[in-house]
Amino acid sequence: MKVVSSRAFNQDVSQAKRLARIEPVFVTDRGKPTHVLLGIDAFRQLAGQTETLADLLAMEQPVTAEPDWRTAARWMR
């Protein structure tokens, strides 16, 4: 866990973003933690999210899926 002051954060946001890829970065204001900067992967894990459709579409490698039509429910009309 890395701690940076809000002043240091404002002066070098890029450094804080680089650190957040490795571990959470706590931003303090007058010595008290006010914000936490997380990498997107850490946030998604914390939130219980998986890849979104936009993430899958943005991937360079194609994603293939083979649905099992035997267990799929009929569409309601």
The model's pTM is: 0.60
3 is a domain residue: yes
Residue 15 in domain: yes
Domain total of the chain: 1
* pLDDT band for position 73 (cuts 50, 70, 90): low
Please report whether residue 12 resides in a domain. Answer: yes
Has residue 43 been placed in a domain?
Answer: no
Task: Output DSSP code: residue 70.
Answer: T
Alpha helices in 3-62 (DSSP H): 6-11, 13-20, 40-47, 53-58
Tell whether 39 is covered by a domain: no
Residue 6 belongs to some domain of the structure:
yes
CA-CA-CA-CA torsion sign (39, 37, 44, 55): negative
Residue 4 resides in a domain: yes
Range of the domain at 5: 1-29
**Assigned domain for 77 exists:** no
Per-residue pLDDT reduced to its tens digit, 27-72: 999 999 999 999 988 888 888 877 777 877 887 887 677 777 777 6
Sign of the CA dihedral with 24 first, then 25, 29, and 32 last:
positive
